[in-house]
Structures are given as C-alpha cells and as structure tokens.
C-alpha cells in the first residue's frame, strides 16, 4: 500500500464532494432506485446531518481531493446501544489502497467513543468487496434488517459487537 491518504472529520466544505461521490458510486452497483441511500435528504448536507449527537462522518482525502467517506450514527428505531455504519462509499481511486480498512477502524473507534455496543450495516448483493471488508472487520450476517433505515432495497444485513 504505497498510496498515501488522509482520513479526517468531514467539514462543511466537503458537502458537495461527498454528495458527488455517493451519486457516482451507488449507481455503479445498481443502487440508484427507490429504497436506497442515494435518495436520502441528508446526501446534500452530510456535514449538518452528522453534526448531531452520537454521529460522526469522515472523508478520505488524497492530494487534497476527497475520494471517499463513511460514518456512524444511531440506528433509527432500534435500541440506543446500536449504531449504523452509514454511507461508506469510495471512488475507484480509493479502492485497493487500504482506505476501506482504515475507514472501518476510524468509524468503529468513533462508535465506541459515542458509547455504542453494537454496529449494524445494510448493503446489497453484488457489493462483494464491501462485504469482504465487513466480514474481515468482524461483522456477521443477519437474516433480516434491524431498525428502520427506510432502505428497503438493501438485501444484505450485518452486525458486530464493539
């Protein structure tokens, strides 16, 4: 992994870049129809959305350019000790350089710091590299979704203890 990148907390000036990444990456995996995060109101205002209590969102930057992001927030309509790994997407230039593993660690550390005991995530069949990362990171598959994310088109669900 000779590539250099920086993971840092998102700032307001990152909103447009993060929205562009989400809107570019999700259709790549067929995740652009109803029931996917691409349609969430927060996509254009991610900094403000994650400036809430017990929320964190980070970006990956290389050569001054934001190339990915990921965050954690309380899982809606779930027990208060469960967070959700949310909107972790990487442009192709951020893939295969260790950024996913580093971002995962940063998000799980933030979840622990926010007092969560479990981390949940939803994904999609076909996002194989992402699912391999989740399993390497200690997540196990669930048979059904938890909480109420509104992402009814996701068909793979994972959880891990923190």
Question: What is the pLDDT of the chain when averaged over all its residues?
Answer: 93
108: which residues sit within 8 A by CB, 6+ positions away?
72, 119, 137, 162
Q: What is the pLDDT at residue 2?
A: 44
pTM, two decimals, is 0.94
pLDDT digits 0-9 by tens, 21-78: 999 998 888 888 777 888 888 999 999 999 999 999 999 999 999 999 999 999 999 9
Which residue segment(s) compose the domain that 135 sits in? 6-161
| pLDDT number for residue 1 | 43
Q: How many domains does the chain have?
A: 1
The pLDDT of residue 152 is: 81
**pLDDT of residue 140 exceeding 70:** yes
3-state secondary structure (DSSP) of residue 83? strand
CA–CA dist 74, 79 (Å, integer): 9
With pLDDT > 90 as the criterion, what percentage of the chain qualifies?
78
- What pLDDT does 40 receive? 84
Distance between CA atoms of residues 161 and 44, nearest Å: 31
Q: Is 84 helix (H, G, I), strand (E, B) or coil?
A: strand
User: Within a domain: residue 1?
Assistant: no
The domain spanning residue 25 has which CATH number? 3.40.630.30
Per-residue pLDDT, averaged over 94-116, amounts to: 96
Q: Tell me if 62 sits within 8 A of 94, measured CB to CB.
A: yes
Nearest Cα neighbor of 44 from 73, 21, 71, 68 is: 21
pLDDT at position 123, please? 92
Grade residue 3 by pLDDT with cuts at 50, 70 and 90.
Answer: low
């Amino acid at each position: 992994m000779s590539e250099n990148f920086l993971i840092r907390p998102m700032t307001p000036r990152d909103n447009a870049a993060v929205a562009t990444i989400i809107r570019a990456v999700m259709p790549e995996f067929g995740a652009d129809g109803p029931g996917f995060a691409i349609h969430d109101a927060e996509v254009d205002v991610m900094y403000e959305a994650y400036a809430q209590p017990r929320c964190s969102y980070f970006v990956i930057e290389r050569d001054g350019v934001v190339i990915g992001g990921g965050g954690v927030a309380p899982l809606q309509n779930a027990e208060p000790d469960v967070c959700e790994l949310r909107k972790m997407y990487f442009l192709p230039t951020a893939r295969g350089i260790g950024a996913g593993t580093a971002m995962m660690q940063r998000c799980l550390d933030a979840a622990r710091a926010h007092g969560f005991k479990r981390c949940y995530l939803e994904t999609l069949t076909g996002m194989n590299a992402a699912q391999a990362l989740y399993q390497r990171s200690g997540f196990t598959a669930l048979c059904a979704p938890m909480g109420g994310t509104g992402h009814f088109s996701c068909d793979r669900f994972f959880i891990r203890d923190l």
